[in-house]
Amino acid sequence: MIPNGYLIFEDESFLDSTVAKMNALRKSGQFCDVRLQVCGHELMAHRAVLACCSPYLFEIFNSDLEPHGVSHVKFEDLDPEAVEILLNYAYTAQLKADKEMVKEVYSAAKRLKMERVKQICGEFLLSKMDSQNAISYRNFASSMGDTRLLAKIDCYIQEHLLEVSEQENFLKLPRLKLEVMLEDHVSLPGNGKLYSKVISWVQRSLWENGEPLESLMEEVQTLYYSADHKLLDGGLLEGQAEVFGAEDDHIQFVQKKPPRENVHRQLSSSSSGSLSPGSVRQPCKHDWKYIASEKITNSTYLCLAVLNGVLCVIFLHGRSSPQASPSATPCLQKSLSFEASPQEEEPERLLAPMHYARSGLGTAALNGQLIAAGWCNFEAWICFAAVETWLKKSCVNVEPVRKGKQCCGVFGQFPISPIWPCSFLLKKYCPFEMAVLMVCVCSLNNKLYVVGGSDPCGQKGLKNCDAFDPVTKEWTSCAPLNIRRHQAAVCELDGFMYVIGGAESWNCLNSAERYNPENNTWTLIAPMNVARRGAGVGIYAGKLFVVGGFDGSHALRCVEVYDPARNEWRMLGSMTSARSNAGVAVLDDFVFAVGGFDGNEFLNTMEAYNPGRDEWSTGAEASTLA
């Protein structure tokens, strides 16, 4: 058609043909006038094309003093394959990238200021997000400074926090453990208000004491929530703290340590001791953020938050009875009566104590008797070999087993030391070339499994899992653990092996995993409510009872039970004594905790748990041993 004397013709194939030819010229290096050097790789292109697609390169080319010469642009922090993908897009308007490359393409597009590509990559990541990768995606979006992508990922985490919390990358996040004690008839506020107070408390704690965030995570922090809605440091209960007001009428901060000198001067200049707005430089707002939380039980909360720019897990446990010791172990209210007023029994009515105080012992129920074997003196790191057995209320010595080198475990119904396979049971058949400390030992399908442990320095946890067949006298390497751990609890239940808690580099774990010998795989199960190492474990009514342990700061009294059918942990009544590295055995429908270390001394006492009453007692009438 020729309207008004003009010839108009549209060649629909011309554009596609032209861009294809231009891309072919680029790949062959013909007529190229710019060279991109990306981590040792050279990519040729035409500056006019790149300037149209990348504002970043446009700025560079526009400032070039020699516009007619060949330009060299160097990138040392981009992926060459990702840049090649962007070049193809610049010439063909087609973005093709394997899913493994999307993050790298996003990063390169951010550098080149190609906003449309960033958006497309972000939408692709969101479409592939699930509970397993949500944390890694969030870390990526945070490193890219993409607030839009972060907001959408945080919305997903808010809706799926429990599923996300079961994944390995969540379990590896830094963890802040808080125990909040409540006055009578006072309950914690709703999740949002609760964690805004907690985050403010962390901010002030770091500012007042001048310590890094890591120092708050080294031990359980005890706080106190008063009837007038003030969040206080638990040190106030012991009369060891000074109180300072805050701008927020509902928060009062208490510090145990004297403030830094310049802060002290500022506080001294105010007669009221309050912190006036603007008196100090506050942390950047974007570095502190509440993301999501879940109320796990009536008194237990789980939260994901950004603290001082670090993605962290906050585990919070509320307790009644502010008269209790701030260093007490997290537990539910139903066990508070035992903590506040331990039962006083006549000596003859108590469960008979052992002849020796023991920690790290092995225990077993055999022919209606409890057997305790070996123990460890951690101060001298010496292990002993005496064995005791209980008949009714009496406690007698029996022949000692051969000397062990580490804390004891149980093989079937017989106590053994995890290192005894090297020096006693298996002698020359042990495959380990170096000392391995604090391993887990368990019998499963007539084989001995040695799991985890640490290096000789006791610092680096191991993922190793090896099985010994006593018939063939051969070792077999099994699939490794998902998480490095030593001083974990281990047991067999319904043809599976469970490894629970423990520590990695002395950072206590609340994670647990299950081994399936049929397909040689480890699977993470729901995490415990309380991170612990050196816990005892027993099997009763098809469930796992995890007893005591150490949380990195205190020996624990709290007890949890795991239901495999529901993949769920539930807190039980607490023991009358804190016990780490105690022996645990089940006899006549009672769970017994024997010996251990209470944080001050090694114990020769024992106590029994009555599942029907959800109570622990040291009284002999509480069990069938009476």
pLDDT band at 365 (very low <50, low <70, confident <90, very high): confident
User: What is the share, in percent, of the chain residues with pLDDT greater than 70?
Assistant: 71
Which of 24-38, 47-61, 589-603 has the lowest average pLDDT? 24-38
Average per-residue pLDDT for the chain? 75
- Say how far residue 88 (Cα) sits from the centre of its chain: 42
**pLDDT tens for each residue of 146-191:** 989 999 999 999 999 989 998 888 988 999 888 888 776 777 776 6
pLDDT at residue 214 is higher than 90: no
The C-alpha atoms of residue 315 and residue 216 are separated, in whole angstroms, by: 13
pLDDT at residue 265 is higher than 50: no
Q: Are 547 and 579 in contact (CB under 8 A)?
A: yes
Nearest to 43 by CA among 34, 51, 54: 34
- Report the pLDDT value the prediction gives residue 469, as an integer from 0 to 100: 92
- Report the pLDDT value the prediction gives residue 523, as an integer from 0 to 100: 94
Q: Are 555 and 548 in contact (CB under 8 A)?
A: yes
pLDDT at residue 272 is higher than 70: no
Nearest to 467 by CA among 420, 525, 517: 517
Q: Which two tokens stand for residue 480?
A: 């490794």
pLDDT band at 449 (very low <50, low <70, confident <90, very high): very high
Give ranges for CATH 2.120.10.80 in the chain.
356-622
Q: Are 497 and 480 in contact (CB under 8 A)?
A: no
- Report the pLDDT value the prediction gives residue 279, as an integer from 0 to 100: 33
Ramachandran angles phi, psi of 174, nearest 5° = -55, 145
Rg (CA), the chain: 31
Instruction: Indicate the SS3 state at residue 127.
Output: helix
Give me the amino acid identity at 71.
S
Q: What is the mean pLDDT of residues 230-256?
A: 44
- Report the pLDDT value the prediction gives residue 255, as an integer from 0 to 100: 35
Specify the CATH architecture of the domain 356-622: 6 Propeller (2.120)
DSSP bridge partners of 554: none
Sequence-distant (6+) residues with CB within 8 A of 242 are 254, 255
The C-alpha atoms of residue 146 and residue 569 are separated, in whole angstroms, by: 36
pLDDT band at 6 (very low <50, low <70, confident <90, very high): confident
Task: Give the number of other CB atoms < 10 A from CB of residue 124.
Answer: 17
Q: What is the mean pLDDT of residues 357-374?
A: 78
- Report the pLDDT value the prediction gives residue 405, as an integer from 0 to 100: 36
For the chain, the maximum distance between any two Cα atoms, rounded to a whole number of angstroms, is: 120
- Which residue has tokens 């009358």? 576
The C-alpha atoms of residue 598 and residue 595 are separated, in whole angstroms, by: 9
Give ranges for CATH 3.30.710.10 in the chain.
11-128
Q: What letter does residue 120 receive in the DSSP assignment? A: H
- Report the pLDDT value the prediction gives residue 385, as an integer from 0 to 100: 43
- Report the pLDDT value the prediction gives residue 69, as an integer from 0 to 100: 52
- Report the pLDDT value the prediction gives residue 480, as an integer from 0 to 100: 94
Which of 51-65, 188-202, 218-232, 268-282 has the lowest average pLDDT? 268-282
pLDDT band at 450 (very low <50, low <70, confident <90, very high): very high
Q: Which two tokens stand for residue 497?
A: 């092996």
Higher pLDDT, 84 or 430: 84
pLDDT at residue 292 is higher than 80: yes
**pLDDT tens for each residue of 395-423:** 544 444 433 334 444 443 334 433 333 33
Specify the CATH architecture of the domain 11-128: 2-Layer Sandwich (3.30)
The C-alpha atoms of residue 597 and residue 487 are separated, in whole angstroms, by: 14
Nearest to 558 by CA among 249, 315, 204: 315
Q: Are 307 and 168 in contact (CB under 8 A)?
A: no
DSSP bridge partners of 606: 594
Q: What letter does residue 451 receive in the DSSP assignment? A: E
Which of 132-146, 212-226, 347-361, 573-587 has the lowest average pLDDT? 347-361
- Which residue has tokens 């005890």? 222
Q: Which two tokens stand for residue 626?
A: 């009476």
